[in-house]
């Protein structure tokens, strides 16, 4: 495929397992308002984590077991996350849901839930990718070493750096020490890396990904 | 550290870390990102230890001069007590 060539995306249908379909089968048994509410709960759970108490409250109001409610919400959540993850088209979403045999009204509601929430769901899913430690901040100190166990009467300059890193929400630090010449070399290497981004080769690659 | 080879009958070598090396240096901090003009002497200590499984770990820490003087006093006390044992 040549870069930049326009091509139609292949048909992408969701593969819904037997168990998944059973869980979703609860949805046509309740009001659209309830399904919309389940949709809201599903997205909220994706944002902040699930809260089992919500299931119990809903189960009491709907007069069903809290397991049924939980499966319904989880089934809906999975439907939304899988669709968002793959970024399937409207048509493919409709065709995937069609096999469930729901009413036209329910199908439209589910499609709307997908379209309304998929950007945000994709943002949440992007944060789940494994994380390397990343730069948070840096503290530095310029020292002069005056003596050590092996050598007295010195004047040796050194730079001590405390690197603050973030990883998966955790904060940790690394303390490093080097001499000014090595620090200069480090700075030159980093500047060279930044310069690379301006080369024609890099610009071409980035342009084609967009 | 001069090889002070402990006899293998030492009960603790299977339980605690063993000190392999004790390095130190005396430095003076002259400038930092938060304070541009300093005259702050400190003692930096680098310990090399082996855990009960034999894995070697480095641990380093710094002390201000008053902290170091307190540190030194502890060892003087330990030495004094050992004399009486």
pLDDT in tens, A37-95: 999 999 999 888 888 888 888 889 888 888 989 999 999 999 999 999 999 999 999 99
Q: What contacts B27, CB < 8 A, 6 or more positions away?
A: A143, A144, A145, A146, A158, B41, B42, B44
pLDDT, residue A170, reads 86
Task: Enumerate the residues of chain B whose CB falls inside 8 A of the CB of residue A148.
Answer: 23-26
- Spatial contact of A144 and A156, defined as CB atoms under 8 Å apart: yes
Cβ separation B29–A147 shorter than 8 A:
no
Sheet containing B56-64: order of strands: A170-178, A156-167, A134-148, B18-32, B40-50, B56-64
Q: Distance between CA A101 and CA A98 in Å, rounded?
A: 6
Cβ separation B25–A145 shorter than 8 A:
yes
Distance from CA of B11 to the nearest CA of A (A): 30
Q: How confident is the model at residue A128 (pLDDT cuts 50, 70, 90)?
A: confident
pLDDT, residue A185, reads 96
Task: Enumerate the residues of chain B whose CB falls inside 8 A of the CB of residue A175.
Answer: 60
Task: Enumerate the residues of chain A whose CB falls inside 8 A of the CB of residue B26.
Answer: 145-148
User: CA of B84: how far to CAs of B9, B32, B79, in Å?
Assistant: 24, 46, 9
Cβ separation A148–B31 shorter than 8 A:
no
Distance from CA of A195 to the nearest CA of B (A): 26
Any CB–CB contact under 8 A between B33 and chain A? Answer: yes
> From first to last of its 85 residues, what are the pLDDT tens digits of chain B?
444 555 454 556 567 889 999 999 999 999 999 998 899 999 999 999 998 888 999 999 999 999 999 999 999 999 999 999 8
Average pLDDT of the residues of chain A? 89
The 8-class DSSP code of residue A28 comes to G
Any CB–CB contact under 8 A between B56 and chain A? Answer: no
Residue with the bigger pLDDT between A131 and B38: it is: B38
Among B22, B27, B32, select the one facing A145 at the smallest CB separation.
Answer: B27
Q: What is this structure's pTM?
A: 0.56
């Amino acid at each position: 495929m040549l870069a930049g060539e326009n091509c139609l995306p292949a048909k992408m249908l969701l593969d819904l397992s037997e168990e998944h379909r059973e869980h979703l089968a609860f949805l046509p048994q309740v009001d659209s308002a309830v399904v919309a509410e389940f949709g809201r709960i599903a997205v909220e759970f994706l944002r902040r984590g699930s809260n089992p108490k919500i299931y119990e409250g809903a189960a009491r109001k709907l007069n069903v077991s809290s397991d049924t409610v939980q499966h319904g919400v989880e089934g809906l959540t999975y439907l939304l996350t899988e669709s968002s993850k793959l970024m399937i088209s409207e048509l493919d979403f409709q065709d995937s849901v069609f096999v469930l045999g729901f009413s036209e009204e329910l199908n439209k509601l589910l499609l709307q839930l997908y379209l309304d929430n998929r950007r945000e769901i994709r943002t949440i899913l992007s944060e789940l990718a494994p994380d390397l430690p990343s730069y948070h901040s840096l503290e530095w100190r310029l020292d002069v070493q005056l003596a050590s166990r092996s050598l007295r009467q010195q004047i040796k300059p050194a730079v001590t750096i405390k690197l603050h890193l973030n990883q998966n929400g955790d904060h940790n630090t690394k303390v490093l020490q080097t001499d000014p010449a090595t620090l200069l070399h480090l700075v030159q290497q980093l500047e060279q890396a930044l310069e690379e981004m301006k080369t024609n080769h890099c610009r071409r690659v980035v342009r084609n990904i967009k | 550290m001069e090889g002070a080879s402990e006899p293998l009958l030492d009960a603790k070598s299977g339980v605690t870390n063993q000190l392999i090396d004790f390095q130190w240096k005396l430095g003076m901090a002259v400038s930092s990102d938060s304070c541009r003009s300093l005259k702050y002497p400190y003692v930096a200590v680098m310990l090399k230890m082996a855990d009960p499984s034999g894995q070697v770990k480095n641990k380093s820490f710094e002390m201000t001069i008053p902290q170091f003087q307190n540190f030194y006093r502890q060892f003087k006390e330990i030495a004094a007590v050992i004399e009486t044992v």
